[in-house]
Structure 1
Amino acid sequence: MPHLILASASPRRRELLEQIGVHFDCRPVDICEDPLQQESAREYVTRLAQEKALAGLEQAGGDSVVLGSDTTVAIDDHILAKPANEDEAVAMLMQLSSRRHQVLTAVALAAEGKVEVCCVETDVEFIELDDARCRQYWRTGESCDKAGAYGIQGLGAVFVKSINGSYSAVVGLPLMETAAMLQKFDIPLWQPN
């Protein structure tokens, strides 16, 4: 049976894989995450997921299967990455205020001679926000490492008016699609600890 490696330091992705009973090792990789010029949000997350999986496979070798994933928030196909500071986070949140945006999560699995990638898009609509509330949220520390400056699985859930699509993809890993891909690579689900 091949061994699964998660090429990510994300605690959310670890929790989601554990939720579906997958055994894996966590070995984060370091790649440049800057968007390319004229790159769409979908192209961006798909490229990063694949680069992470391939970089992890190069490190691991053997009969490993490596899962790489990336999530971004986009509004009008403009990528909202992780904010660099409070003002940037507030600007992002205000841009999302009272609007529908997309959360795109790509998953790539790589093994010797085989790579598969999928991208899941979920629509999320926010309530109306104001500057003071956004700054209060920033001070919780939750938004500093999140694409789009919020986490739906945490305190940022109170901003979400509606969601159309995969909740787990917004958190960081679309479970239905990931499970189907893992089965193609002979990685079993629901393994006992």
Structure 2
Amino acid sequence: MSIILASQSPRRRELLAQMGVPQFEVVPALGEEIASPGLSSAQLVEVLSRQKAEEVAVQAGPDDVVIAADTVVAVDGAVLGKPRDPADAARMLSLLSGRAHTVYTGVTVRRGTFSRTAHEATQVRFRPLTQSEISAYIATGEPMDKAGAYGIQGRGCVLVEGIDGNYHNVVGLPTCLLAGMLRQVGIDVLTGGQEGRP
């Protein structure tokens, strides 16, 4: 049995290792993400994480475990993914300035014919930001590969007044939720134990 992370995100790799997941390999899902219009943010991240897991599962063995995730930021009914360019990052950060938003991460775990998908939601509050602060933060390059154009685990931490919910979910992987899902496929990250297929 191999454990496969269907993501190229370095944050997700770090969190999976931090959880104590036994040796895993990274096989990023490269296909185009397709979602039906009208989905809620929670439904969207679940659909996208499921698509990623299904894409990579085709390359996996029948006993391999595939883990996939997708994260978005939602505010005023708008979904913020990764910014297209610095101007888009500035738009997102201006929208988030001085208010609360919700970070959603969908997670899918597959092993053979077993598949489970769930999501986590975390409320995040930004302090008011000046345009010069937004420009300075964008100049670091950090916002460009992150949903909502900020990284709470990096310099973006100085933008956040507080959170309500799971911190690691904001980074991109809800570790407590994932640990429970892995137990369902026979992997206990606390004991390092592995059981048979579900």
Normalised by the size of structure 2, how large is the TM-score?
0.92
SS at match of 2:12: helix
**C-alpha distance 132-169 of structure 1, shift in aligned 2 (>3 A):** same
Aligned to 2:7: 8
Aligned to 2:166: 166
Aligned to 1:79: 79
Percent identity of the aligned residues?
A: 42
**C-alpha distance 35-96 of structure 1, shift in aligned 2 (>3 A):** farther
Task: Report the alpha carbon displacement of residue 88 of structure 1 after superposing the two structures with TM.
Answer: 0.7
Residues 1:33 and 2:33 aligned together: yes
SS at match of 2:59: helix
Q: Which amino acid in structure 2 is aligned with residue 18 of structure 1? A: A
Cα shift readout 1:100-123 (whole Å, capped 9, x = no counterpart): 000001110012111101100000
1:4–1:187 Cα contact (<8 Å) kept: no
Q: Which stretch has the larger CA shift, 29-38 or 140-149?
A: 29-38
Aligned to 1:187: 187
Task: Report the alpha carbon displacement of residue 41 of structure 1 after superposing the two structures with TM.
Answer: 1.3
1:3–1:187 Cα contact (<8 Å) kept: no
Cα shift readout 1:59-99 (whole Å, capped 9, x = no counterpart): 11321110010111000221001001111101100100111
Gaps of 5+ in 1: none
Task: Report the alpha carbon displacement of residue 155 of structure 1 after superposing the two structures with TM.
Answer: 0.3
Aligned to 2:196: none
Aligned to 1:93: 93
1:82–1:148 Cα contact (<8 Å) kept: yes
Task: Report the alpha carbon displacement of residue 189 of structure 1 after superposing the two structures with TM.
Answer: 1.2
Distance 1:31 1:46 in 2: 16
Q: How does 1:1-193 map to 2 (within 5 A)?
A: 2-23=1-22, 24-33=24-33, 35-190=35-190, 191=192
Distance 2:91 2:31 in 1: 26
Number of residue-to-residue matches in the alignment:
191
**C-alpha distance 136-34 of structure 1, shift in aligned 2 (>3 A):** farther
Task: Report the alpha carbon displacement of residue 188 of structure 1 after superposing the two structures with TM.
Answer: 3.2
Gaps of 5+ in 2: 194-198
Cα shift readout 1:109-152 (whole Å, capped 9, x = no counterpart): 01211110110000000000121111111110100000000000
2:34–2:48 Cα contact (<8 Å) kept: no
1:83–1:147 Cα contact (<8 Å) kept: yes
2:80–2:148 Cα contact (<8 Å) kept: yes
Distance 1:33 1:147 in 2: 15
Task: Report the alpha carbon displacement of residue 3 of structure 1 after superposing the two structures with TM.
Answer: 2.2
SS at match of 1:152: coil
1:94–1:129 Cα contact (<8 Å) kept: yes
Q: Which stretch has the larger CA shift, 13-22 or 32-41?
A: 32-41
Q: Which amino acid in structure 1 is aligned with residue 80 of structure 2? A: L
Q: Which has the higher contact order (CA 8 A, sep 6+)?
A: 1
